[in-house]
Amino acid sequence: MIIKAVFNAFSTVLKDHGLNKGGKVQKTIDSEVLRRSDPYVPMDTGALKKSGILGTKIGSGEVVYNAVYADENYYHNAGKGKQGTAKGGLRGKFWFERMKADHLADILKTAKDAAGGK
């Protein structure tokens, strides 16, 4: 009796499941991070939120808020706006960390679904 087993290359397996660099799963994660961060990003005119969309190349694995004042807002925003943390809302500093604390499991589930996981 002869048994022959053929295995796909590791890179092929990754690509088949969308796990390659810039693949379907990474695009899904990047999109989910932007979408779920939206209610946490400080907003006056909406330019900071928009800078996340414009500054991020979906699939790169890096979400970038490229407004000149993004860094200042990320670390020092007092959240005093209408929907700010100081008034019981979500918008304010450390928006990514706070979003991640609330939605990491949801993002991971979405990524698993995109990869065809069970």
Q: What is the pTM of this model?
A: 0.82
pLDDT of 117 reads 74
In which domain, by residue range, is 100 found?
Answer: 10-114
Residue 2 falls within a domain, yes or no? Answer: no
Q: Could you read off the pLDDT of 75-95 as tens digits, one per residue?
A: 999 999 889 999 999 999 999
pLDDT at 28 over 90: yes
Confirm whether 5 is domain-assigned. Answer: no
Decide if 107 is inside a domain.
yes
Give the model confidence (pLDDT) of 57-68 as tens digits.
999 999 999 999
Contacts for 52-59: CB closer than 8 Å, 24+ residues apart: 56/30, 58/27, 58/30, 58/31, 59/22, 59/23, 59/26, 59/27, 59/30
Question: How many structural domains comprise the chain?
Answer: 1
Domain-located, residue 110: yes
* In-domain check, residue 80: yes
14 or 107, higher pLDDT: 107
Query: Does residue 4 form part of some domain?
Result: no
pLDDT in the model for residue 98? 97
Whether residue 31 is contained in a domain is answered as: yes
> Which pLDDT value is given to residue 14?
64
Torsion of CA 42, 46, 52, 55, to 10 degrees: -140
